[in-house]
Amino acid sequence: MRGVVVAPQPAAAEIGAELLAQGGNAFDAAIGAAFAQMVTDPQMCGLGGFGCATYAWPGGCQHLAFHARAGSRATPDMWAADFRGRTELGNYTLFDDHRSNLGHTSVGTPGVVAGLASLHSRAQLPWAQLIEPAAKLALDGFPAPEFAFESLRRLPQPGMPTGEQRARCTPDSASLWCRADGSLKQPGDQWANPHLGETLKRLARAGARDFYVGDLATRIADELARGGGYVTLEDLRRYEVRLSQPVRGTFRGLDVRSSSAPASGISGVQMLQILDRFPALVPEQPESYVLLACAMREAFAARLRAVADPDFVAVPVDELTGGAWADAAAERIRNKATLGAVATVGGEGTTHVSTCDADGNAVALTHTLGIFSGVIVPDTGIALNSGMDLFDPLPGGPNSIQPGKARVSGMAPTIVFDGRRPAIVTGAPGTNAIVTSVVQVIVGVVDGKLTPVEAVSAPRVHCEGGPEGGPEGGPVFVEGRVQRAARDALSEAGFDLRLMPTNYAPGFGRNQLICIDARGDFRGASDPRRDGGMAAYCFR
């Protein structure tokens, strides 16, 4: 079927396009690409991960949540006494032993296999056919790509474990990431993952259920128990995805639909609806960057106060995405009102795939390991998430630890409709900058009339708010390519300017964008940050 697949990993995008050529639709392409991403980028995603998706078909749109959930052995106050603070960026919780983001204690009940199985209900091809290309890739091996090792080499923030610590955390992790002499593998080395390949073949035969109630579930639970984790076999057996209506808003007369809480689609809708109360933003003009930063600051402040797992906390979605809230926020920006402290939430290990087809189906799928926990279940290749890393370790808050609860996430898979047809399909990896990159790309396409390549390549800013009593705007992070006039305007508006050392900052979101015009023609573009990606087409 004619369509396009956009992903940060070229091999995954190509596999998705090949499935379209075999008669699959956008759902087949997204599922097949997602499994391939687990092979080609195992620091970012894996069978032990989690995520969410916003997807559309002719006449409908839905949100699918398959977040990691705290295990039944977890308690709200279990880490409170040992909490050492948070990182300056990302708000990661700090402990002397790295318990929240490294090792077995960091793992939440994984949901990605259940999520992809749910998505398969709208696919055309057999489940096994979607997994087989990824299994073959894992078994045959391939030259290790640069992007897969970038996060291993990156210097961590103070108090956080290094990428090498994650790579060597368990024997099976070290086997994947290290050479025979014990040194870390390098880009270009031949890279295979035979255990993962065999597990994928097993899932192709037995179905997703085996991951949660079969032998694979037992292996996962046994490994987590061995390492003192909180997830049990019963947690795996009870895992369920959540289906809901997407969060909705409007921008320049278009219908925006994005991820429900505890993901950050609410924040993206809020930002766009604030900007909708101002004239169209001109790309790269100083005033545009100031408005973007102000809208980001407002939405992040609201997320801190009100967004959490709706199974545990009443989230006032209608209020937060309503016109009155956007009106008040826009007025505060006009009056240069100061906001208080804004804690941030983010995660390093994430990826995304966007797909669409000629029948009007579209999928925006984000999935992640959080930050790779360093745990790979022995002899299975199943890399496990660090879904506990962004909970509040202090009890009593909306994002505090509770068994079965999902923590707040930065994911924002989004589809923008022009009338009844999808016009923009987008999403990204990149911590809190997922949602800010999604917003800037949509604004670039709609207001700036940018092409998809121009929109994902344009210089970006990122703002999450300021400390209590600090500068009015708080810190705003800007890529090295943002012009001096814009940087000066942000400083004059009261923001504490933080100039990034890179022109294409990998932490500023890596957007995977598809635009569809009124004739049904589509164009895709993969963000150049973190070594770029691919838009793979099927023209049949």
20 alpha-carbon distance from chain centroid: 24
Q: Please name the amino acid found at residue 527.
A: D
405 in any annotated domain: no
State how far the Cα of 125 lies from the Cα of 123, in Å rounded to an integer: 6
Q: Please name the amino acid found at residue 249.
A: G
Considering the domain architecture, whether residues 90 and 179 belong to the same structural domain is answered as yes
pLDDT at 343: 39
pLDDT at 469: 28
Q: Let me know: does 235 contact 48? Beta carbons within 8 Å.
A: no
Considering the domain architecture, whether residues 435 and 516 belong to the same structural domain is answered as yes
Considering the domain architecture, whether residues 172 and 280 belong to the same structural domain is answered as no
pLDDT tens across 89-143, in order?
667 889 999 999 999 999 999 999 999 999 999 999 999 999 999 999 999 999 9
The residue with tokens 């344009």 is 458
| Dihedral pair phi/psi, residue 345, rounded to 5° | -130, 135
Q: Give which of 72, 28, 67, 81 is closest to 353, Cα–Cα.
A: 28
Over range 407-430, report the average pLDDT: 96
Q: Please name the amino acid found at residue 432.
A: N
Considering the domain architecture, whether residues 376 and 418 belong to the same structural domain is answered as no
State how far the Cα of 368 lies from the Cα of 44, in Å rounded to an integer: 6
Q: How confident is the model at residue 349 (pLDDT cuts 50, 70, 90)?
A: low
pLDDT tens across 289-314, in order?
999 999 999 999 999 889 999 999 99
Considering the domain architecture, whether residues 333 and 355 belong to the same structural domain is answered as no
pLDDT tens across 497-507, in order?
999 999 999 88
Considering the domain architecture, whether residues 179 and 217 belong to the same structural domain is answered as yes
Element (H, E) at 483: none
Considering the domain architecture, whether residues 342 and 429 belong to the same structural domain is answered as yes
| Dihedral pair phi/psi, residue 35, rounded to 5° | -65, -40
pLDDT tens across 188-234, in order?
999 999 999 999 999 999 999 999 999 999 999 999 999 999 999 99
Over range 453-462, report the average pLDDT: 97
Express as a percent the part of the chain with pLDDT over 90: 84
Q: Let me know: does 436 contact 462? Beta carbons within 8 Å.
A: yes
Task: Give the count of domains, the chain.
Answer: 2
Query: Domain holding 466: CATH number?
Result: 1.10.246.130
Q: Which of 12-16, 223-227, 292-296, 343-347 bottoms out in mean pLDDT, i.e. has the lowest?
A: 343-347
Over range 80-86, report the average pLDDT: 93
334 in any annotated domain: yes
Considering the domain architecture, whether residues 126 and 223 belong to the same structural domain is answered as yes
Considering the domain architecture, whether residues 217 and 98 belong to the same structural domain is answered as yes
Is the per-residue pLDDT at 344 higher than 80? Answer: no
pLDDT at 430: 82
| Dihedral pair phi/psi, residue 314, rounded to 5° | -75, 110
491 in any annotated domain: yes
Is the per-residue pLDDT at 418 higher than 80? Answer: yes
The boundaries of the domain holding residue 299 are: 248-346+411-528
540 in any annotated domain: no
pLDDT at 340: 38
State how far the Cα of 242 lies from the Cα of 312, in Å rounded to an integer: 14
448 in any annotated domain: yes
pLDDT at 92: 81
392 in any annotated domain: no
Q: Give the number of other CB atoms < 10 A from CB of residue 293.
A: 28
Tell me which of 383, 402, 430 is where a domain ends: 383
pLDDT tens across 142-194, in order?
999 888 887 777 778 788 898 889 999 999 999 999 999 999 999 999 999 99
**Distances, alpha carbon 53 to alpha carbons 27, 232, 427, 428, 525, in Å:** 11, 26, 9, 12, 19
pLDDT at 485: 97
State how far the Cα of 309 lies from the Cα of 399, in Å rounded to an integer: 8
Element (H, E) at 251: strand 247-251
Considering the domain architecture, whether residues 489 and 366 belong to the same structural domain is answered as no
Considering the domain architecture, whether residues 210 and 165 belong to the same structural domain is answered as yes
328 in any annotated domain: yes
State how far the Cα of 336 lies from the Cα of 494, in Å rounded to an integer: 9
pLDDT at 348: 54
What is the average pLDDT value for the chain, to the nearest integer? 93
Q: Give which of 326, 330, 142 is closest to 250, Cα–Cα.
A: 326
Considering the domain architecture, whether residues 113 and 33 belong to the same structural domain is answered as yes
**If you write DSSP's letter for every residue of 498-540 in order, what string do you get?**
EE-SSSS-TTS---EEEEE-TTS-EEEEE--GGG--EEEEE--
Q: Give the number of other CB atoms < 10 A from CB of residue 107.
A: 28
401 in any annotated domain: no
Is the per-residue pLDDT at 467 higher than 80? Answer: no
